Amino acid sequence: MSITCRDAMREAIRQALIADDRVFMMGEDIGAYGGCFAVSKGLLAEFGPDRIRDTPLSESAFVGAGVGAAMAGMRPIVEIMTVNFSLLALDQILNNAATLRHMSGGQIGVPLVIRMTTGGGRQLAAQHSHSLEGWYAHIPGIKVLVPATVDDFRHMLQPALDDPDPVLIFEHALLYNAEGELSDGPSPPIDKAVVRRAGKDITLITYGGSLAKTVQAAELLAAEGIEADVIDLRSLRPLDDATYMASVRRTHRAVIVDEGWRSGSISAELSARITEGAFYELDAPVGRVCSAEVPMPYAKHLEEAALPSTSSIVAAAREAMAEDA
């Protein structure tokens, strides 16, 4: 069945609400308005205001309320409109949600799911367009998920709700309208990477909104006789080292595609891990394709220039292949 990522996530939320009375959702404009990206459209009419709760514009307040509700035994789904606004709740996420199990000697868990939109490409300028999921992957005590397919939008939520600790789900805004077929089989565990395209010459590692560009780049490279392994990380914390490392050991070359900034990014972490764990397997330096280190521009042509593109991924792969063994 073909479905959009938006509808897949809505159905995931709907099924979670049906299955467990402890589950409720809250965030800005998620009720009558249906959510800024229409993910929660229709849920208020079906489940009522006790289960679909509109909140004031105070990320610190409603994320804090979600932390408290989770501590009290509920299973809240908190929606933050965009990742940039999540910084207003960073104290609640870092100093409370991520640390309470450790600071209580294991007595207090925070089974909280926080969903937020990430990524550029929509001409919404610098306060609505950044990719900060790599920042959150730095924090122990939480899981960081980055769905890129309709299957993952549909099936990552329930395991996240079942987790006894906080889980953050970063949904790239350009994926909401993307369509795909829901598979019939079971989904991989949420902390496992997946090989989306098999190849023998180079490993392309990516996640979320950059997956489609990376697969497209792999197809263009194939026309030149370069077969690329495309790894979809799916989880940034924990990282599935075994899957991408096995690919790099087989292809001996790697390029990481990350919409975050290059400095201090998840791509920097992956590059370090590959260098530490597979240095003598590499036939070329690890390449990285990241966003330009500027606040995201508003003008369309500048925004496009700032973001990773299919052509920049192809160029990085060609450069890696040109290196002498």
Is residue 128 domain-shared with residue 95, that is, in the same domain? yes
Higher-confidence residue of 187 and 274: namely 274
Q: Is the dihedral of CA 302, 306, 308, 314 positive or negative?
A: positive
pLDDT tens readout for residues 177-194: 999 999 887 889 999 999
Is residue 200 domain-shared with residue 296, that is, in the same domain? yes
- Confidence at residue 199, expressed as pLDDT on a 0 to 100 scale: 97
Q: Is residue 325 pLDDT above 70, yes or no?
A: no
When the pLDDT of each residue in the chain is averaged and rounded to a whole number, the result is 96
Is residue 173 domain-shared with residue 34, that is, in the same domain? yes
Kindly state the average pLDDT of the residues 11-36.
96
- Confidence at residue 224, expressed as pLDDT on a 0 to 100 scale: 95
- Confidence at residue 323, expressed as pLDDT on a 0 to 100 scale: 75
- Confidence at residue 122, expressed as pLDDT on a 0 to 100 scale: 86
- Backbone Cα Rg of the chain: 20
Instruction: Return the structure tokens found at 285.
Output: 């330096």
- Confidence at residue 324, expressed as pLDDT on a 0 to 100 scale: 62
- What CATH number does the domain containing 198 carry? 3.40.50.920
Quote the CA–CA distance of 230 and 317 in Å, as a whole number.
Answer: 12
Domain that holds residue 292: 194-322
Q: Is residue 123 pLDDT above 90, yes or no?
A: no
Active site includes 59?
yes
Choosing from 132, 153, 181, the residue where a domain stops is 181
Nearest one of 173, 295, 160, 151 to 232, comparing CA atoms: 151
Kindly state the average pLDDT of the residues 62-84.
97
Burial 208-242 (b: 16+ CB within 10 A, else e): bbbbbbbbbbbeebeeeebebbbbbbbbbbebbee
Nearest one of 240, 236, 306, 231 to 265, comparing CA atoms: 236
pLDDT tens readout for residues 300-312: 999 999 999 999 9
- Confidence at residue 121, expressed as pLDDT on a 0 to 100 scale: 83
Higher-confidence residue of 26 and 185: namely 26
Give domain status of residue 186, yes or no: no
- Confidence at residue 148, expressed as pLDDT on a 0 to 100 scale: 97
Kindly state the average pLDDT of the residues 259-267.
96
- DSSP characters over 2-50: EEEHHHHHHHHHHHHHHH-TTEEEEETT-STT--TTSTTTTHHHHH-TT
pLDDT tens readout for residues 142-164: 999 999 999 999 999 999 999 99
Q: Which of the following is catalytic: 28, 128, 172, 259?
A: 128
Q: Which of the following is catalytic: 11, 28, 46, 59?
A: 59
Give domain status of residue 189, yes or no: no
Is residue 207 domain-shared with residue 313, that is, in the same domain? yes
Is residue 171 domain-shared with residue 220, that is, in the same domain? no
